[in-house]
């Protein structure tokens, strides 16, 4: 899902600033799926609202951005993270839903949880699983895996040293491995 | 110091603070898993389903994810210039 080579990306960015639909569509196609996957672990019913707010903010500041496609992606997710944090701050009166993915339906829609977990993991199930690990770990993994950013850029986005990012990703991966193993064991027990 | 307070964990650089034990991962393998470069069958013990999960998260977007939502796509589009 890479955008384009840097020289071409500059053309795309210029065109997007002018409001050319092809360029906006290109940015949208690359970034919106990543954005939605990132936000789904952080938000319950407000994914569309926060996604929209992210695009509004990006649009507002687009003329000031200078950089490559990877730098643009890092900037985009910095904006998305700010929009997400602001939304949660504004919604402080409501129950905190960060990391709570109880609302996510069965990961495969299959009635047999054993079969569901043993056979496949789908995107919804994967995001639900990420909602069950500490939010600092899930955020790092999402920015690495979904946003496709390196540890240094993730550190810049979340305001932590790169060493801390690496510790968080190690712990997150281990936690996911443990959860997946326990899910499989539970499913096997239920199947008996 | 902790891994979550924004500072380097104590002993960082000597491996302290990282995962040890049966699910231990070296840095290179962790990076390759996160990049989706480790096939489930090639993953270290205990990580095959994590590799599978990474592949799912990096899968091509669904039609719903690309389809313009009611608000967001219009938010993405700057106001078009009026031609004279």
ipTM over the 0.85 cut-off: no
pLDDT value, residue B73: 63
Output the average pLDDT for chain A: 83
- Provide the pLDDT confidence category of residue A102 given band limits of 50, 70 and 90: very low
Contacts of A145 in chain B (CB under 8 A): 34, 36, 54, 57-58
Of A167, A173, A180, the CB nearest to B3: A167
Q: What DSSP string runs through A75-107?
A: HHHHHHHHHHHHHHHHTTTSPP-TT--TTS--S
Q: Please state, as a whole number, how many other Cβ atoms lie within 10 Å of the Cβ of residue A34.
A: 25
Report the interhelical angle of A151-158 vs A162-191 (nearest 10°): 100
Q: pLDDT digits over A1-57, tens only?
A: 555 554 589 999 999 998 888 898 899 999 999 999 999 998 978 999 999 999 999
Q: pLDDT digits over A58-76, tens only?
A: 999 999 999 999 999 999 9
Closest chain B CA to residue A126: B53
Closest chain A CA to residue B65: A33
Q: Please state, as a whole number, how many other Cβ atoms lie within 10 Å of the Cβ of residue A137.
A: 22
Put simply, the answer to whether A184 touches B47 (Cβ < 8 Å) is no
| CA of residue A90 relative to chain centroid, distance | 21
Contact B34, A145 (CB under 8 A): yes
Angle at A140 between CA A149 and CA A31, to 5 degrees: 45
Lowest mean pLDDT among A88-102, B17-31, B37-51: A88-102
Q: Which domains does chain A have, with CATH numbers?
A: 7-92 (1.10.1740.10), 112-192 (1.10.10.10)
Q: Please tell me whether the overall predicted TM-score, pTM, comes out greater than 0.95 for this model.
A: no
Mutation target for A interface from B9, B14, B21, B61: give the one with most A CBs within 10 A: B61
Q: Which of residues 161-190 of A touch B (CB under 8 A)?
A: 161, 163-164, 166-171, 173-174, 176-178, 180-181, 184
- Rounded alpha-carbon distances, angstroms, from residue A124 to A84, A130, A169: 20, 10, 20
Q: Rounded CA gap, A163 and B71, in Å? A: 38
Alpha-helical (H) ranges within chain A are 6-18, 21-40, 47-61, 69-90, 113-119, 123-130, 135-145, 151-158, 162-191
Contact A191, B56 (CB under 8 A): no
């Amino acid at each position: 899902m890479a955008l384009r080579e840097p020289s071409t990306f500059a053309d795309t960015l210029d065109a997007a600033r002018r409001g050319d639909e092809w360029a906006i569509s290109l940015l949208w196609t690359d970034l919106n799926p990543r954005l939605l996957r990132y936000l789904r672990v952080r938000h319950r019913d407000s994914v569309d609202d926060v996604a929209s707010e992210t695009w509004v903010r990006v649009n507002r500041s687009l003329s000031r951005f200078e950089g490559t496609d990877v730098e643009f992606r890092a900037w985009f997710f910095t904006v998305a993270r700010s929009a997400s944090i602001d939304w949660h701050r504004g919604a402080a009166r409501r129950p905190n839903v960060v990391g709570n993915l109880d609302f996510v339906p069965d990961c495969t829609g299959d009635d047999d949880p054993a079969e569901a977990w043993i056979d496949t993991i789908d995107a919804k199930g994967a995001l639900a699983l990420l909602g069950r690990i500490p939010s600092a770990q899930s955020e790092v993994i999402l920015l690495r895996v979904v946003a496709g950013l390196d540890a240094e850029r993730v550190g810049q986005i979340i305001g932590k040293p790169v060493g801390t990012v690496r510790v968080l990703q190690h712990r997150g991966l281990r936690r996911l491995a443990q959860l997946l193993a326990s899910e499989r064991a539970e499913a096997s027990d239920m199947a008996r | 110091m902790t891994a979550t307070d924004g500072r380097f964990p104590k002993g960082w650089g000597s491996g302290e603070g990282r995962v040890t034990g049966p699910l231990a991962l070296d840095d290179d393998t962790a990076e390759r898993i996160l990049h989706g470069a480790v096939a489930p069958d090639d993953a270290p013990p205990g990580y095959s389903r994590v590799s599978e999960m990474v592949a799912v998260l990096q899968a091509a977007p669904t039609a719903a994810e690309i389809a313009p939502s009611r608000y967001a796509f219009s938010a993405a589009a700057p106001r078009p210039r009026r031609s004279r």
